[in-house]
Chains A and B, each alone.
Chain A
Amino acid sequence: DQQVKQNSPSLSVQEGRISILNCDYTNSMFDYFLWYKKYPAEGPTFLISISSIKDKNEDGRFTVFLNKSAKHLSLHIVPSQPGDSAVYFCAASFAGNNRKLIWGLGTSLAVNP
């Protein structure tokens, strides 16, 4: 049973445009959400996070939006750059679960020059 779902396995956008990556979750216990970026042959790299008490967190070109009622979050990258091409993972955790991360399957983003 996939508790964190990324329904789009891939996404392609033009350089300079907005990239929107989506993530849905089923477990209402989750109170912290993270986005990681992964290049081939490397470990995931932390990108941005959001607590369930917030609905938006912004860091430079990256913004994460959380809609608790819909159990949905999204990562916006604007403007997209070719170096953003990677696999993006959504992950979630809660305190009662030792903060172990529950992961989506990832979305492969390709930013075309």
Chain B
Amino acid sequence: GAGVSQSPSNKVTEKGKDVELRCDPISGHTALYWYRQSLGQGLEFLIYFQGNSAPDKSGLPSDRFSAERTGGSVSTLTIQRTQQEDSAVYLCASSRAGGVGEQYFGPGTRLTVT
């Protein structure tokens, strides 16, 4: 079946603009995670959705970042008033449930803020 898909694959934006990144998880996966990897850094957790529960937003770096998951499926990560330090690869992952088990990753969106 189809894996996790993300769009766009690349995004170049000017500082101060808003961007939206999209994630389509694997069908039937109830857990969805967003991570980002900045240049030379490891992957950093951003936000977690599990079913209809309130999302775990503990990893969001500032209030410019927000995410939603509509209908328990597609998720959108929004970054408002982008800054150069937001430049990174944003990765989405899904898993069958929030329990133990591997997370399946999409190819990522490379965001460059100029």
Contacts and interface: CB of A to CB of B under 8 A. Distances in A.
B56 A34 contact: no
B65 interface: no
How large, as a class, is the contact surface on chain B?
Answer: 20 to 34
A43 B108 contact: yes
Given A32-B100, A43-B4, A105 B41 contact: yes
Contact of B33 (A42, A100, A106): A100
A70 interface: no
Interface stretch (A12-20, A44-52, A61-69, A77-85): A44-52
Given A41-B107, A42-B107, A43-B91, A99 B100 contact: yes
B42 A46 contact: no
Given A43-B107, A43-B108, A46-B104, A98 B43 contact: no
Interface residues of A, number: 26
B42 to A, nearest CB: 4
A99 B107 contact: no
B103 A89 contact: no
Given A32-B100, A43-B91, A100 B45 contact: yes
Contacts of B44: 103
Contacts of A4: 42
Contacts of B4: 43
A100 B33 CA distance: 8
B59 A43 contact: no
B112 to A, nearest CB: 14
Interface in B49-87: 50, 56, 59
A101 interface: yes
Interface of A: 2, 4, 32, 34, 36, 41-46, 49, 51, 89, 91, 93, 95, 98-106
Interface of B: 4, 31, 33, 35, 41-45, 48, 50, 56, 59, 91, 93, 95, 98-100, 102-108
Given A98-B56, A101-B43, A104-B42, 14 more contacts: A42-B107, A43-B105, A43-B106, A45-B105, A46-B102, A46-B103, A51-B100, A91-B43, A95-B99, A98-B98, A99-B98, A99-B100, A100-B33, A100-B48
